[in-house]
Structure 1
Amino acid sequence: MRLVEPTKHTLNSKFKFRCHNDMSCFTKCCSHANILLTPYDIIRMKNRLGISSGEFLKKYTYTYSDEKSSHPYAVLKMMDDNEGKCPFVGSEGCGIYEDRPANCRYYPIGQGLMIRGSEEGPINEEFYFFIRDPNCLGYQEDREWTIQTWRIDQGVDLYDEMNREWKEIQLRRNTPGQPKLDPKKQDMLYMASYDIDTFRRFAFESKVLDLFDISKKEIDKIKTDEIALMKFGFRYLKYVLMLEETLKAKEEYIKESGK
């Protein structure tokens, strides 16, 4: 059972930790784990495996719906055996190590996000905490880090940058007074967050891009660049979930819908 320390830490907080394949606990932390995936996780992992996002989601994930926010989340599916191992972990370690999810990169650190009020308005504030797995011997090692240097070493700083807008959507949807999502919006949130290949088809085949003032240059980039498409998806979600007017509808569409 993993224990989460209640103390909140900053990027300057220090700790000692090291993980290597000579340790008796090597890869044990990769069993019976609840790994919630992010949009950028899916892109990296499905491209590493050379499959579509839809194929990846069907084979390697299950959907968890949060009761409070009614948000659907993709969670990595562990193997259906006594060990409950991650499907990508073998005796030599992680088979997709260079493209592993953000949660795996952060371990043994967890990250949280909250809204703090200020004179300028609400501010998103990140904080960190340590995860103590009784099977993990990594804390007994003498390599010292700060949370900041650990993030950089593990490459999770890039993942945080890529997923920041998506995390803000989850946070703002969790604020008091937000209504639960209807099934149609739940499906849209899931598709735009995780199923990037299906979202691309939706964006171009449904002509949804024609409804908004978007330059041809941006549309061309969305068509060929998955990161640009992912970030457009975040803007689109903020718009359809009525969190922020991130897109501007064309005048002719406004007039037509107003008739």
Structure 2
Amino acid sequence: MENQNTDNNSPAMARINPVRLGYDSRFQFKCHPGVSCFTLCCRGIDILLTPYDIIRLKTRLELSSAEFLAIYTEPHLLEKTDLPMVTLKKMDDEQASCPFVRDTGCLVYEDRPTACRYYPLGVASLQHQEGADDQGFFFFVNEPHCKGFEEACDWTVAEWRTDQGVDVRDAVNAEWTDLLVRKRSFPSSIKLTEKAKQMFFMVSYDVDKLRRFVFESSFLQRMPVAEDVRQQLASDDVALLQFGLRWFKDVLYKQRDPHAQAAAAGGDNVQ
């Protein structure tokens, strides 16, 4: 996609033309209960969840990772990577609504997923990979019903990301995003074993099971960590997530034979 019309300030033009946006690109947008389309963007869509999204939501709802995953998510395999992803399970209503949306707004707004925070922007290239373009690659989510573009509130992409807190979330999810980017570089003939996929799923989404894997198996005997790190991993979900992702990436990608590395990643079985 060529970089065209990025300086065009017309919201209508921005929604019609596929435009590559950078951090300094400007747009008009504001969503609030007074717009006629309020909450329509929360219905009939697939909301992809990141690892940090799940930590925030399961903590908000006072659920374990496994409980949250079972009640609120659906598993998928991400195209081109063959890695497991999860989306929010839709409600069984005519609009296939997000389970947390009501006519008055979002029930978990302070902990809403990253995809919701980015709206009306989408991320066209995964960030944080080695050698990534610092300018980023964003685009408008084209939904004709959206009236937020008609609101007189001006942003740059960078300002929007900071205001919505996605810059912080992208930083937490950086190792996970890098894993996805690296997996895309695998030749299509190379497939991960089912055990490797299960390990990726646990490390990415089931932080409570990951903690049991680290502390209740022989993991720490095979990979000793400092006592202060051990204490942090025992209580801090974000620290454990990032530790687990770094470990999985190192095991899976250190050698050129991913099948052998995936097998090595299996470790002990923890239920």
Matched, 1:215 2:226: yes
Q: Aligned partners of 2:127 and 2:36: how far apart in 1?
A: 40
Alpha-carbon distance, 1:50 to partner: 0.6
* Aligned length in residues: 239
Q: CA 1:170 to 1:220, structure 2 compared with 1: closer, same or farther past 3 Å?
A: same
Of the three residues 72, 78, 83, the one matched with 1:66 is 78
What is the match of residue 123 of structure 1? 131
**What RMSD, in angstroms, separates the aligned Cα atoms of the two structures?**
2.1
SS at match of 1:11: coil
| TM-score (structure 1 length as normaliser) | 0.87
Q: Write the distance in 2 (CA, Å) between the matches of 1:24 and 1:103.
A: 21
Match in the other structure for 1:150: 160
- Aligned partners of 2:33 and 2:52: how far apart in 1? 27
Residues 5, 131 of structure 1: 8 Å contact kept: no
Letter in 2 for 1:123: G
Stretch of structure 1 that moved more, 172-181 or 85-94: 172-181
1:1-259 matches, cutoff 5 A: 6-113=18-125, 122-125=130-133, 126-177=136-187, 179-243=190-254
Tell me how far apart the structure 1 counterparts of residues 209 and 24 of structure 2 sit (CA, whole Å): 41
Higher strand fraction (1 or 2): 1
Residues 9-38 of structure 1: per-residue CA shift (max 9 Å, x gap):
110000000111011100000001111100
Task: Report the Cα distance in structure 1 between the residues aligned to 2:24 and 2:238, rounded to whole angstroms.
Answer: 30
> In 2 relative to 1, CA 85–115 (structure 1 residues): closer, same or farther, beyond 3 Å?
closer
Contact kept, 8 Å, 2:128 with 2:178, in 1: the verdict is no
Tell whether the 8 Å contact from 2:127 to 2:174 is kept in structure 1 after alignment.
no
Aligned-residue sequence identity (percent) comes to 43
Tell me if the contact between 1:172 and 1:243 (Cα under 8 Å) persists in the aligned partners.
Answer: no
Task: In structure 2, list runs of 5 or more residues that go unmatched.
Answer: 1-14, 256-271
1:218 is paired with a residue of what secondary structure?
Answer: helix
TM-score, with structure 2 as normaliser: 0.83
Q: Give, in angstroms, the shift of residue 113 of structure 1.
A: 2.7
Deviations 1:181-217 (Å, cap 9, x if unpaired)? 1100000000100010111111111121221242121
Instruction: Sort the Cα spacing of 1:47 and 1:5 in 2 relative to 1 into closer, same or farther, 3 A.
Output: farther
Do 2:126 and 2:177's aligned partners in 1 also have CA atoms closer than 8 Å? no
Q: Which runs of 5+ in 1 are unaligned?
A: 245-259
The offset of 1:68, in angstroms, is 2.5
* Separation in structure 1 between the aligned mates of residue 233 and residue 128 of structure 2, nearest angstrom: 33
Shift of 1:65: 0.7
